[in-house]
Structure 1
Amino acid sequence: AGAQKGRVYELLRSSSRLKLFSERAVRLQRLLEQLDSWDFDVFQAAETTGGFPLFLVAYNLMLVHNVIAPFGLNETVVRKALHTIEAGYLRNPYHNSIHAADVTQTMCYFISKPFLLPYVTALEKLASIIAAAIHDYAHPGVNNNFHVAARLDLAIVYNDRAVLENFHVSSFFQLMRRPDDNMFATMDADMQKQIRQLIISMVLATDMAVHFDEVAKFKSKLIQVRRDMGRDDVGPSTPSSAARDDDGRKRSTASIAEKPRKKSVGNVASAKEAPARRTSFIKTAADTDLFLRMALHTADVSNPAKPIYLAKKWTEMVVEEFYAQGDRERDLGLPISAFMDRNTGNVPKLQLGFIDFIVKPLFEQWASVMDEVAEVCLPQLLDVRAYWSREQEAGARKGSVGSADAGSPASRSARADPGSPASKLRIPPAAAVKEEDSMDAASEGSEH
């Protein structure tokens, strides 16, 4: 993987624009060195690449996890497909290629840890990277509830169920029917069927409508897992304190390089033998499928568990998109969804509900079996929660319901705000892509 990374850097340095690309290569190298860190700054990746963070993250994770050569994938087609996928993400304030890159990086953080790494096959790793990369492919910037309430075409096509999740994965596999973008073309029919089912399963699990059912299955499985691990008397771990820099950036204590790793699968045949490597607590492919579904869902809602300077950026972006949807609902005469009315927006309440009812229970479950989550992720989530609690108290003292940073009614969509993070994206047309260049309320308001 190191040699492959070096080849990427050399390609950059060999450009005729040597000085520019040499400087960028240094910044890219620093970013790639942090690719396995919970504190990875995907906004820097977007800025450094000129608006192509998803390609940077997904392609290099495919190299790190060695999932191109073992399956005989055509690297040129893989690169082309990743660029086309990135181009398919719209310039939404939140659901854009920065979010896709962040979820992809976070997904790989989970599957790279000792609890899962030895038991995830090469095919499952490849499926995980692609599922994360395409989980919001071509997202229109409004959620499932809006599609159903407005009786939009997608709601009719998908019968009001998992409207966007079905749309994302279906659109991706439509893309895979194009020879120039079909990265799976070299796989045999059985393997193509397997990876398709894995991707569908993971992406559909990001639908917030199935959140509580999925979490219930996860909790039930983890009771068995903790018993098999000798932690039968232990619930979700209590987070330990962690060192932070003065600017609030917490130094990650776990990385891929620091943990023992299973040797990468060297060929497709050996990848098929992976079921023999199941442990006493991950007994079947169905068990792994559950963990992969929950890993992607957790990655999708992980923003509040990131360092505060990243968590606040994500909040600003999602609130912009929520308010834009609320504006459309008002214009159409529809009921305005919870937390999406810019005139009554209460950002601290939105975030506290999201954390308490959706995010925190997920991370507490992971923390009960993954030390890295207990030591790194959960403490940061609690720090972010404390921040929003202080903001809520400050707002109450001022008699204000909004947040001065992200909840202001003056907040507008990225299209109208050239200074917003999403506005910095440079997404070319797909045809021109080139490599060079309350519980219910909380659930509804958190739909991704």
Structure 2
Amino acid sequence: MEKLLQSKFKPSESEMEYFINSYKTLRMPMDFLSYKWCPFEDEENMVELCVHMMKDMLEPQLATNDPLLFELTCIVRNTYRDLPYHNFEHAVGVMHCAYIILKRNRGLFDQIEVTSIMISALCHDVDHPGLTNSFLVTINHPLAKLYEKSPLEHHHYYLCYYLLKNFKIFQHLDSNEYSKLMNNIKNNILATDLAVFLERRRNILKLKRNKAFNIISEPDRSLMKSILMTACDLSSTCKPFPPARMYTEAIIKEFYEQGDKEKMLGLIPASIMNRDLSARLPEEQVRFYVSLALPCYSLLVQIIPNTEQLYYGCLKVYFQWQLEVDKKSQPVWKVEESYLSAE
């Protein structure tokens, strides 16, 4: 694994020099401190912006080590595949959402938690194959054999683990601190499995109903960070509608590719995976927002109140998808039915 990381993913000296020099003249996007910012708006500066976010949030021992941060970011970028959605741009978007939440809630998390969230967000989908966990299980994929639950998320975590171990980025931490950091990163990355989110959401709601949710207790903090990670992972649903729709169309491309594979295996893909049913996209999105996205942000606001902009952004996009559904049910005007044609 170490030889692979060094030979395939490590940036060249000239690439490193380019990014370090580029960072010196980096101009921050005007809306960078807003949840509305989208990475594609500054695609050529995504590496530099990742380093900027880490320098702002990580401990001083790391924040002042520019070469190390650039090398780590470039290696992580190179481990993402060239996919329509699960790519480095998605990782930057998730990291940016985490950055805004953390920046607006300084003091809510300790430094190890902050570091773990930032690293987890950046690495949460490394080497994603563009397929779902259920499909990997169905085809008996090696990852599904290796991990009983959440095979993709376990793969993302262990690749992240090897990256951090290989480059000794946390040498300044003692063994207890390092163990806490890696446990946090593992919990955070595994939380991006939506099946895990649904389970942990039920746990939080039960605790809150019984008025037993305690933000100080470690188990409840773990649940809080899990919901935060899911919210960041889904944050493209909170953008203004044009980019939100663009990101939806990107992930749908991956879904259709999987659906085509399922058809070749004689399987019947879910409607959202079936390109023959593309006309149902608005209905599928309404279902997704009602069942997953909106409940996620509604819960996040209950735990971290100043994240309400994410909830309202998601709600606005939901209304737009619902509007498209409503338009489909309206009668279509036909020229042959007009009064003028009757004359």
Please indicate the TM-score interval, normalised by the length of the shorter structure.
Answer: 0.7 to 0.9
Contact 1:120 1:288 in 2 (8 A): no
Q: TM-score if structure 2 supplies the norm length?
A: 0.83
Q: Which residue of 2 aligns with 1:260?
A: none
Question: Residue 72 of structure 1 contacts residue 187 of structure 1 at CA under 8 Å; is this kept in 2?
Answer: no
Is the CA contact (8 Å cut-off) linking 2:125 and 2:153 kept in structure 1?
A: yes
Other-structure match for 1:44: 41
The AA in structure 2 aligned to 1:143 is: T
| 1:29 aligns to 2:27 (yes or no) | yes
Q: Give the stretch that moved more between structures: 288-297 or 182-191.
A: 182-191
Q: Describe the superposition over 1:347-405 as per-residue Cα deviations: whole angstroms up to 9, x where unpaired.
A: 1111111100001112122233544333x222222221111111112234479xxxxxx
Q: 1:389 aligns with which of 319, 322, 340?
A: 322
2:185 is the alignment partner of 1:194:
no
What residue is the counterpart of 2:83 in the other structure? 92
Partner of 1:145: 134
Q: Distance in 1 between matches of 2:154 and 2:234?
A: 18
Could you say if the C-alpha distance between residues 389 and 287 of structure 1 is closer, same or farther in structure 2, counting changes exceeding 3 Å? same
State whether residues 218 and 290 of structure 1, in contact with CA within 8 Å, keep that contact through their aligned partners in structure 2.
yes
- Residue 284 of structure 1 deviates from its aligned partner by 2.6
CA contact (8 A) 1:88 1:137 kept: yes
Kept after mapping to 2: 8 A contact 1:57/1:105: no
Do the aligned residues in 2 keep the contact of 1:71 with 1:186 (CA within 8 Å)?
A: no
CA drift of 1:108 comes to: 2.0
What is the match of residue 312 of structure 2? 379
Q: 1:182 to 1:79 in 2, by over 3 A?
A: farther
Query: How big is the shift at 1:221?
Result: 4.3
Match runs of 1:26-425 below 5 Å: 28-31=26-29, 34-46=31-43, 48-49=44-45, 53=46, 55-65=47-57, 67-70=58-61, 74-114=65-105, 117-159=106-148, 161-178=149-166, 181-222=167-208, 281-345=214-278, 346-374=280-308, 376-397=309-330
Q: Which residue of 1 aligns with 2:7?
A: none
Per the alignment, do residues 206 and 213 of structure 1 end up closer, same or farther by CA in structure 2, a change over 3 Å counting? same
Preserved CA contact (<8 Å) 2:59 2:111 = no
Aligned pair in 2 of structure 1 residues 343, 60: CA closer, same or farther (>3 Å)? same
Amino acid at match of 1:111: L
Conserved 8 A contact 1:74-1:186: no
> Which residue identity lines up with residue 354 of structure 1 in the other structure?
F
CA RMSD in angstroms comes to 2.6
Report whether the alignment pairs 1:11 with 2:21: yes
Matching residue's letter, 1:113: R
Farther off after superposition, 82-91 or 286-295: 286-295
Rounded to whole Å, the distance in 2 between the matches of 1:215 and 1:13 is: 40
Deviations along 1:190-245, one digit per CA (max 9) or x if unpaired, are 222111100000111111222221111222444577x99xxxxxxxxxxxxxxxxx
Query: Cα distance, 1:80 vs. partner?
Result: 0.8
- Post-superposition Cα deviations, 1:125-147, rounded to whole Å, max 9, x if no partner, equal 11110001111010001110111
3-state DSSP class of the match of 1:368? Answer: helix
1: CA distance between counterparts of 2:160 and 2:21? 28
Structure 2 residues without counterparts, runs of 5 or longer: 1-17, 333-343
Cα deviation 1:53-82 (Å, max 9, x = unaligned): 2x33432111112x2424688542232111
Q: What CA distance in whole angstroms lies between the structure 1 residues aligned with 2:237 and 2:179?
A: 35
Which structure has greater helix proportion? 2
Is contact 1:305-1:381 (8 Å) kept? Answer: yes
With over 3 angstroms needed to count, the CA separation of the structure-2 counterparts of 1:113 and 1:177, relative to structure 1, is closer
Does the 8 Å CA contact 1:360/1:381 hold for their aligned counterparts? yes
8 Å Cα contact 2:54/2:63 also seen in 1? no
Q: Is the 8 A contact 2:55 2:62 kept in 1?
A: no
- Write the letter of the residue equivalent to 2:200: E
Note the alpha carbon deviations across 1:395-442, whole angstroms, 9 max, x for none.
Answer: 34479xxxxxxxxxxxxxxxxxxxxxxxxxxxxxxxxxxxxxxxxxxx
Q: Is the 8 A contact 1:58 1:129 kept in 2?
A: no
C-alpha distance in structure 1 between counterparts of 2:23 and 2:297, whole Å: 41
Instruction: Give the 3-state SS of the residue equivalent to 2:27 in structure 1.
Output: helix
**Equivalenced residues, count:** 314
Q: Which amino acid aligns with 2:261?
A: R
Letter in 1 for 2:202: A
In structure 2, give the amino acid aligned to 1:37. S
**Aligned equivalents of 1:165, 1:390: Cα separation in 2:** 34
> Does the CA-based 8 Å contact 2:192-2:229 persist in structure 1?
yes
Q: TM-score normalised to the size of structure 1?
A: 0.65
CA shift, 1:296, in A, is: 0.6
